[in-house]
A and B are shown apart, each in its own frame.
Chain A
């Protein structure tokens, strides 16, 4: 599969009155064409900041302080604001969590759908109108002609999210970043939207980065999963690998905290403690304070990334032992 996005050692910082806060701490990952990568983790672990960094839409006090982002072999971090603007909505697009607030309340759906087409394709209003109709059809909105003339408040949440998707995909981007697009929707609509994103992904051969904290959604849509904790990637792997054999204690904790309806004796587990403050200095592994398996080594040294398999990596000292044991059994 062809590689679409390559992120290397991305560090994103925020300037505040006191000092610089590091929200994303040197993460690396890649996305292939036609692949869905899910970024999971609890609130505040840096998922959204990662996606905003990719889009170049960080708030004014945030910036990418080091690392590289390559989209189709084009380096994004060295691009000017104007060059990035030309890419946004064109080569890469984003959809947001709240379809209720992500559409401008004072304009019709048609007006807003025309925007990306007029910006990037230089279409006239009439051409854009025709295309907007196609787009609404494509995202499965019934009676699109009528919808074009309606205002956002006249549409249900699921409809609005479909409109958002139509807007994001208007210029056929190669990368779609979806920041918890289904969190605000009810479960049946959620499933429809997930299916829609999956269908369109195949149709347009896009790479999709799907940010979520819902493990159910991950299982549904992901090809690969990336687990983030406190600004770092703690585990990456194909979805089967991570779900069937999670290696990092944090991933295990996340999976154990998903309710299981089949097993009536299932005890819902939670991960004790809470996410450390963004500016908290932690020696060693950033998860050790909440980790049930932490050792002295974890408290002192930050673990490197260990490979479990070719596609599966974990940033945990426990993995070192396993890897070494494997090696020794293999040699003996």
Chain B
């Protein structure tokens, strides 16, 4: 009898792989679905940019400069050099996504490594966390500007700057998780079976910390994309004529009255994407929280 009940549960659980379970819970959150749609659209834009874009993003056509929204052949208008805004927006998505993903990945690798070491080895904890505190003491964008000032302006250096800026936050989150996971009895049980510290840390503790890391990475994407734009806006990131949203806003500044769409269009794009990553991150946090009952 009891065996049958267990079997039944097993049947149900089979389909219940963690990934799909999380996804199903995420989809229940309408805002998160909205965010997810925007992220998917952004990804499609970035991947298929050459197909989607209607013009070359850096091709100038001074005969059709500063066309407004809805103009013939240029539904998002053109900028002061007559470049098609839609095509620039599409190629800009590429820059945002690539910089966002690479900087988050590099930041995660560094942050997870430091967080694991700090959380597991008490002796390293003090040193690592003080360095992290030091990095935290700088306002993020200033830290990024400082790094770029040292390395020079380019998109690659923006990636480096934002990666370094992502490390402390990630390290703190991972350390916190490791501190709670390493107190669990299964860690002691693994030690009693003769597992080495590195094995315990990488094979047993890290997989138990994935939920906060996933949430952090998603939220961090939003910050990274925003900072890339901010740095480019300040002239520290993408250089003209590269199509980059922040740089596009900066270029449009002088034409606020004659061609407001030059600033508004990339501005809305940044806003939507940042918003999308934030709500998806929020949704993931709820979906990954085992204590949260979303009404099944």
Q: Which residues of A contact B (CB under 8 A)?
A: 55, 57, 60, 85-90, 93-94, 96, 98, 101-107, 115-116, 119-120, 142, 146, 150-151, 154, 156, 164, 167-168, 170
Q: How far is the CA of A94 from the CA of B189 in the complex (A)?
A: 8
Contacts of B3 in A (CB 8 A): 142
Contacts of A60 in B (CB 8 A): 122
Q: How far is the CA of A260 from the CA of B186 in the complex (A)?
A: 37
B188-241 contacts to A, CB under 8 A, are 188-196, 199, 204, 207-208
A-B residue pairs in contact (CB < 8 Å), sample of 19: A57-B192, A85-B194, A85-B195, A93-B192, A93-B193, A94-B189, A101-B184, A101-B185, A101-B186, A102-B185, A102-B186, A105-B208, A106-B207, A107-B204, A107-B207, A119-B194, A119-B195, A154-B10, A168-B192
Closest to B207 in A: A106
**What's the least CB distance linking B123 to chain A, in Å?**
9
The answer to whether residues A116 and B10 also contact, given A102-B186, A106-B207, A107-B207 and a CB cut-off of 8 A, is no
Q: How far is the CA of A60 from the CA of B2 in the complex (A)?
A: 43
Q: Provide the B1-32 mask, 1 if CB < 8 A to any CB of A, else 0.
A: 01100100110010000000000000000000
Q: How far is the CA of A156 from the CA of B184 in the complex (A)?
A: 19
Counting from the closest, the 7 A-B pairs by CB-CB distance are: A89-B193, A89-B194, A88-B194, A94-B192, A101-B185, A104-B186, A102-B189
Question: In the complex, are the beta carbons of A98 and B10 less than 8 A apart?
Answer: no
Q: How far is the CA of A90 from the CA of B196 in the complex (A)?
A: 13
Q: How far is the CA of A235 from the CA of B200 in the complex (A)?
A: 39
B62-89 contacts to A, CB under 8 A, are none
Q: How far is the CA of A151 from the CA of B190 in the complex (A)?
A: 16
Question: In the complex, are the beta carbons of B194 and A86 less than 8 A apart?
Answer: yes
The answer to whether residues A119 and B191 also contact, given A101-B184, A104-B186, A107-B207 and a CB cut-off of 8 A, is no
**What's the least CB distance linking A167 to chain B, in Å?**
6
Contacts of B199 in A (CB 8 A): 119
**What's the least CB distance linking A8 to chain B, in Å?**
23
The answer to whether residues A115 and B190 also contact, given A106-B207, A106-B208, A154-B10 and a CB cut-off of 8 A, is yes
Question: In the complex, are the beta carbons of B207 and A88 less than 8 A apart?
Answer: no
**What's the least CB distance linking A99 to chain B, in Å?**
9
Q: How far is the CA of A55 from the CA of B195 in the complex (A)?
A: 13
Contacts of A164 in B (CB 8 A): 189
Q: Which residues of B contact A (CB under 8 A)?
A: 2-3, 6, 9-10, 13, 122, 184-186, 188-196, 199, 204, 207-208
**What's the least CB distance linking B203 to chain A, in Å?**
8
Question: In the complex, are the beta carbons of B208 and A104 less than 8 A apart?
Answer: yes
Contacts of A89 in B (CB 8 A): 192-195
Q: How far is the CA of A327 from the CA of B190 in the complex (A)?
A: 53
Question: In the complex, are the beta carbons of B195 and A115 less than 8 A apart?
Answer: yes
Interface centre among B2, B188, B199, B207 (most CB of A within 10 A): B188
Q: How far is the CA of A156 from the CA of B2 in the complex (A)?
A: 10
The answer to whether residues A116 and B191 also contact, given A101-B184, A150-B10, A154-B6 and a CB cut-off of 8 A, is no
Contacts of A115 in B (CB 8 A): 190, 193, 195
Contacts of B122 in A (CB 8 A): 60
Closest to B181 in A: A104
Q: How far is the CA of A102 from the CA of B10 in the complex (A)?
A: 21
Contacts of A55 in B (CB 8 A): 192
**What's the least CB distance linking B289 to chain A, in Å?**
15
Q: How far is the CA of A156 from the CA of B3 in the complex (A)?
A: 10
Question: In the complex, are the beta carbons of A85 and B186 less than 8 A apart?
Answer: no
Closest to B193 in A: A89
Question: In the complex, are the beta carbons of A96 and B10 less than 8 A apart?
Answer: no
**What's the least CB distance linking B209 to chain A, in Å?**
10
Contacts of B194 in A (CB 8 A): 85-90, 116, 119-120
**What's the least CB distance linking B210 to chain A, in Å?**
8
Question: In the complex, are the beta carbons of A96 and B6 less than 8 A apart?
Answer: no
Question: In the complex, are the beta carbons of B204 and A104 less than 8 A apart?
Answer: yes
Closest to A51 in B: B192
Contacts of A88 in B (CB 8 A): 191-194
Q: How far is the CA of A111 from the CA of B195 in the complex (A)?
A: 14
Q: How far is the CA of A101 from the CA of B185 in the complex (A)?
A: 6
Closest to A106 in B: B207
Closest to B184 in A: A101
Q: How far is the CA of A106 from the CA of B184 in the complex (A)?
A: 13
Question: In the complex, are the beta carbons of A96 and B193 less than 8 A apart?
Answer: no
Extra A-B contacts (5), CB below 8 Å, given A96-B185, A119-B196: A96-B192, A115-B190, A167-B189, A167-B193, A168-B192
Contacts of A120 in B (CB 8 A): 194
Question: In the complex, are the beta carbons of A119 and B185 less than 8 A apart?
Answer: no
The answer to whether residues A57 and B184 also contact, given A119-B199, A154-B6 and a CB cut-off of 8 A, is no
Closest to B199 in A: A119
Interface centre among B190, B194, B207 (most CB of A within 10 A): B194
Contacts of A116 in B (CB 8 A): 193-194
Contacts of A57 in B (CB 8 A): 188, 191-192
Contacts of A102 in B (CB 8 A): 185-186, 188-189
Closest to A117 in B: B193
**What's the least CB distance linking A103 to chain B, in Å?**
6
**What's the least CB distance linking B4 to chain A, in Å?**
13
Q: How far is the CA of A104 from the CA of B13 in the complex (A)?
A: 17
Q: How far is the CA of A196 from the CA of B204 in the complex (A)?
A: 28
